[in-house]
Amino acid sequence: MPEMKTRWDIFCTVVDNFGDIGVTWRLARQLVAEHAVDIRLWVDDLRAFERICPAIDINASQQWQEGVEVRQWAADWQPAEAADVVIAAFACQLPSAYMVAMAEREKPPLWMNLDYLSAEDWVIGCHGLPSVKYKSVQKFFFFPGFQKGTGGLLRESGLLEQRRQFQQDPEAQRTFLQGLGVDRAQGTQLISLFAYENTGLASWLDAMACDSTPTHLLVPEGRILGDVERWLGVEALGAGAVHVRDALTVQVLPFVRQDQYDRLLWSCDFNAVRGEDSFVRAQWAGRPLLWHIYRQDEDIHLDKLEAFLSLYVKGLSEPASKAISGLWRAWNAGEKMTDHWQSTRKHGPELQKHAEAWCLEQGLQADLAAALVQFYLNWI
Ligand code: TRH
C-alpha cells in the first residue's frame, strides 16, 4: 500500500452498451474502498452511467459517488492536473492537453491501458509490457485475464463470501426477488437472460416451453427484447410484463443497479450474460452460464470464445463439456438451441458443481484492482 494517498485518473469513453462504464465504475469504487486512493473517473457519456448507477446527475460536470469523483469528460476539455496513475480504459484516446499535463509533471505518471478481457494465451506474454511513449511518459499494457501472468479479474473483497451467504438464505433471495416483482413458484428453474439480439432465441424459448420442469425467465430491459416479443407475438414489452407459454414464464425486469444485478445472478439457476462485466459477474455467481460474446470484425471474437471454452471445460466429463460448448457455440452463431439446451439440462448437476469449482479456482488469483496497485508499487 502506498504511504501517501496516490491520485488516480481513470478515463472511460462509452463506445456502446454498458461494459465500458460498467468495468471502470466497478474498478473506481473498489480502488477507493480497498486501496484508499483518490480517484477521478472521467466519463464521456453520463446517460449510460446513469443506467447502472441511478444516483448519477447527468448534468453535473463534477460529482462524488461512493467516494469516487466523477467528472464529465466534455468535448471542450478544461485544463486539469495530471494524476500519479493514469488509466486509459480500453485504449481510449486521452485529451491532448491532458497528455501535455502528464509530460509536464516533475515525475511522470504511471500510464496504463486497461485492455479488454480475453482468455487467449498471448495475453500472458503481453501483460505489463511497455506500449507507446509520449515524451517522457511511458504507457503500459494491462491485461485482465483468467490465468497466472495476467492482471486477473475484478473481484471485490468479500464478494464470494457475500454471494455464498445470500445463496444459503432462501428468505433473502425471496425478499430480493419480490423487490423486483418476481414470485418464484416452487420447483421452477430461474434463468436470467441478458444478451444481444439473437436469432437462436426462439428455439431456446421453444425448448424451455416444452421442458418437463417449468422455467421462469427473467429478462432485463434491453436489446434482446425484440426477439422475445417476436416469439411471444406481442409488442412493446416493458419492465413488469409477464407472459406464460406452456412451461415457460417470461418476465421483463427493469435495468437495476450493479449490486442488484449481482444478486439477480446469484438468485438464478442459470445465467445468460454478454460482453465483459456481466460475463465475469456470472462466473462469481457460481452458477452455470451462457456467454453471448461481443461481436468483433472478422469474427475475432470467436477465437476469444474458444480460448475461454478450452479453459473453462477442463475437469468436466466429455459429455458435459460437449453439451456446454455446443450450447455456447450455437448461441454465438445464432443457431438452433433446442438439442444443446436439452443436453445442457441433462448435465445440469455436473455443470453446477463445475461452475462453483471454476469460481473458487478463479477466486485464488489476485483481483484486478489489487494487481493494478501492485503494478504501481513495483513501478515506483
Ligand atoms: O453492455 P455490454 O454488452 O457491454 C460491452 C460494451 O458493448 C463494450 O463496448 C464491449 O467492448 C464490451 O461489452 C465487451 O456488456 P457488459 O460488459 O456485461 O456490461 C453490462 C453492465 O451492465 C455490467 O456492468 C452489468 C450491468 N448491468 C446492471 O448494472 N444492471 C442490469 O440490470 C444489467 C442487465 C446489467
Nearest to 245 by CA among 234, 253, 256: 234
Statement to judge: residues 29 and 101 lie in one domain? yes
**What domain range includes position 242?**
159-362
Q: What is the DSSP string of 192-235?
A: EE--S--TTHHHHHHHHHH-SS-EEEEEESSTTHHHHHHHHT-S
pLDDT of residue 4: 72
User: Per the confidence metrics, is the pTM higher than 0.85?
Assistant: yes
- Cell triple for residue 269? 439457476
**CA 154 – ligand 1 centroid, Å:** 14
Torsional sign, CA 158, 159, 164, 167? positive
Q: 274 forms bridges with which residues in the sheet?
A: 292
Nearest to 155 by CA among 367, 355, 362, 375: 367
Phi/psi at 45 (5° precision)? -145, 95
Statement to judge: residues 197 and 297 lie in one domain? yes
- Cell triple for residue 314? 477442463
Domain presence at residue 306: yes
* Residue 3 pLDDT level (bands cut at 50, 70, 90): low
Of all helices (H) and strands (E), which one includes residue 377?
Answer: helix 368-379
Statement to judge: residues 81 and 189 lie in one domain? no
| Active-site residue set | 20, 276
Digit-coded pLDDT (tens) for 257-299: 999 999 999 999 999 999 999 999 999 999 999 999 999 999 9
- Give yes or no for residue 129 having a pLDDT over 90: yes
Domain presence at residue 219: yes
Statement to judge: residues 175 and 218 lie in one domain? yes
Statement to judge: residues 96 and 110 lie in one domain? yes
Domain presence at residue 19: yes
Statement to judge: residues 300 and 372 lie in one domain? no
Q: What is the mean pLDDT of residues 186-195?
A: 97
Mean residue pLDDT across the chain: 96
Domain count, the chain: 2
Beta carbons within 8 Å of 283's beta carbon, 6+ residues apart: 153, 289, 355, 358, 359, 362
| Pocket of ligand 1 from Cβ distances under 6 Å | 15-20, 22, 52, 194, 220, 255-258, 261, 274-279, 294
What percentage of the chain has pLDDT greater than the value 70? Answer: 99
**Domain containing 129 — which CATH number?**
3.40.50
Domain presence at residue 247: yes
Statement to judge: residues 78 and 207 lie in one domain? no
**Domain containing 346 — which CATH number?**
3.40.50.2000
Statement to judge: residues 145 and 176 lie in one domain? no
Statement to judge: residues 126 and 175 lie in one domain? no
185 and 216 Cβ atoms separated by less than 8 Å: yes
Digit-coded pLDDT (tens) for 13-24: 999 899 999 999
Statement to judge: residues 241 and 106 lie in one domain? no
Statement to judge: residues 292 and 351 lie in one domain? yes
